[in-house]
Amino acid sequence: MGAGGVNTWERCFAHLPTLVISIAENQEYISDECHKAGFIKYIGKSQDIEIIDLSDNITQFIEDVEVRKEIEKSLKNNFKKSGLNDIVELL
């Protein structure tokens, strides 16, 4: 679980499947685009998420091994640790 800031890229290059919420307006677009690309599972803006929804999303993400495997596969295929050029080309 993480916020949609700069750490998103660190998690992508580490091939770490992550459930993400945006905690600032500037994180919304990139979080949504990373979700569409299959790099993360984005569940929305922090101010729009109730605690029960967050709990349900965390539980589902933990239990859904296939979703995490698909994200990890997408990360491994797209983030080959070659640097910032990967990010620019992908988005």
Q: pTM for this structure?
A: 0.82
Asked if pLDDT for residue 91 goes beyond 70, the answer is no
What is the structure's pLDDT at 4? 84
The closest of 26, 29, 20, 71 to 49, measured between CA atoms, is: 20
Structural domains counted in the chain: 1
Domain that holds residue 48: 2-90
The CATH number that applies at residue 33 is 3.40.50.2000
What is the structure's pLDDT at 28? 94
The closest of 35, 16, 37 to 27, measured between CA atoms, is: 35
Predicted confidence (pLDDT) per residue in 41-50, tens digit: 999 999 999 9
- Token reading at 16: 């770490």
Between residues 42 and 91, the one the model is more confident about: 42
What is the structure's pLDDT at 67? 96
